[in-house]
Amino acid sequence: MLILSILYVIAIIAESMTAALAAGRRSMDWVGVCLLGCITALGGGSVRDILLNHHPLTWVAHPHYLVITTIAALATIFVARIMHHLHKLFLLLDAVGLVVFTIIGCNVALELDLPLLIVIISGMITGCVGGVLRDILCNDIPLLFRSELYASVSIVTGVLYVAGLQAGYNHELVMGVSLLAGLTLRMLALRFQWNMPKFIYHRDEQ
């Protein structure tokens, strides 16, 4: 669907630019900025495709996505100073990316006729793994594991999407509703700082 393709391009640009800022915080060089941008934007889908044996990977079949994410990462170097004025816009675009990636990931698994649980997992991997790779390459514990409703938003989006399709509703409608619901949940979670409960365990390493 055209709208999904347009949102996908917006999402990989937004993911690449926020990853470029993370690279800048660690004083990476320009090559590092581009690599981190591409890996963050395209890594979730790549890991999904490798796990599900779905070849060729998106960027191998469509190398122009690599060009787009590289340009987005490089552009960030020059517009970084004004990007913090757009802080809220980027939080929104990041949330758009999360839910759009999730729906795309679900679609890939649906096309492969995989079990519904795997469809939801495929959505979550597509939505979340790019950020995990970014954090590993920045030598952080992945943010995904520590805070905020992020994976949870992806799971809720995927469950709504799969349940709606199973119930036989119109595809466009189901997609629109799951996207909006996921987006709303994510923005509310950011606004009101909703968090999952933490598991805190203090015994020594055994």
| Residue 153 vs residues 14, 60, 71, 116, 127: alpha-carbon distances, Å | 18, 29, 29, 17, 10
Q: Which of 161, 60, 142, 149 is nearest to 102 (CA)?
A: 161
Choosing from 27, 113, 192, 193, the residue that interacts with a copy of itself (CB under 8 A) is: 27
Query: Backbone phi, then psi, for 32, in 5-degree steps?
Result: -60, -40
Which one of the spans 95-103, 111-119, 166-174, 178-186 is the region binding a copy of itself (CB under 8 A)?
111-119
Q: Which of residues 134-173 bind a copy of itself (CB under 8 A)?
A: 136-142, 144-147, 150-152
Choosing from 60, 89, 173, 188, the residue that interacts with a copy of itself (CB under 8 A) is: 60
* Half-sphere exposure at residue 16, Cβ-oriented, CA atoms within 13 angstroms: 28
Q: Which is nearer to a copy of itself, 50 or 180 (CB)?
A: 50
Q: Which of 52, 28, 5 is nearest to 134 (CA)?
A: 28
Q: Which is nearer to a copy of itself, 151 or 175 (CB)?
A: 151
Residue 77 near residue 24, CB atoms below 8 Å: yes
Q: Where do contacts with a copy of itself occur on this chain (CB under 8 A)?
A: 20-21, 23-33, 35-36, 46, 50-53, 55-57, 59-60, 63, 66-67, 76-77, 80, 84, 87, 90-91, 114-115, 117-118, 121, 132, 136-142, 144-147, 150-152, 195-203, 205-206
